[in-house]
């Protein structure tokens, strides 16, 4: 079993839709949770960074962490064609090495 599971999609939605992306994980030591966006043939770009449980909002993006269920989500409101990309969840524990554990990524296409 992988430490981080993510539905690879692909996911296609019409412009303006609300998008929900999810990851589950097995390691209860994970404390820091991130969402990265990766355009084709580019490096991942940090979107959201959350510590422990709770919600965080930044513009059209909302990140949720439920540590009791080992489940994290990213919501995108009023989706735009420019949101078309692969979304990677990532997480780590509190050890000094700071290595990130990634999901496989969900490929999202927003159709104009």
Residue numbers of the site for another protein (CB under 8 A)? 4, 6, 8, 34, 36, 41-46, 49, 88, 90, 94-105
SS3 content of the chain, % helix, strand, coil (to 5): 5, 55, 45
CB nearer another protein, residue 68 or residue 95: 95
Phi, psi of 81, deg, nearest 5: -55, -30
Q: Cα-Cα-Cα-Cα dihedral of 37, 88, 21, 32, to 10°?
A: -110
CB nearer another protein, residue 14 or residue 97: 97
CB of 102 to another protein, least distance (A): 3
CB nearer another protein, residue 27 or residue 78: 27
How many CB atoms are located within 10 Å of the residue 32 CB? 16
CB of 17 to another protein, least distance (A): 24
Tell me the two tokens of residue 110. 């927003």
Distances (CA, A) of 46 to 14, 25, 49: 24, 19, 8
CB of 94 to another protein, least distance (A): 8
CB nearer another protein, residue 8 or residue 54: 8
CB of 99 to another protein, least distance (A): 4
């Amino acid at each position: 079993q992988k430490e981080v599971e993510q539905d690879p999609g692909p996911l296609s939605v019409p412009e303006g839709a609300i998008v929900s992306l999810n990851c589950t994980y097995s390691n209860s030591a994970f404390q820091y949770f991130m969402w990265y966006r990766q355009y084709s043939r580019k490096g991942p770009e940090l979107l959201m960074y959350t510590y422990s449980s709770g919600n965080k909002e930044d513009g059209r993006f909302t990140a949720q962490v439920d540590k009791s269920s080992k489940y994290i989500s990213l919501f995108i409101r009023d989706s735009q064609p420019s949101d078309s990309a692969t979304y990677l969840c990532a997480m780590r524990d509190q050890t000094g090495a700071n290595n990130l554990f990634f999901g496989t990524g969900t490929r999202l296409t927003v159709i104009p």
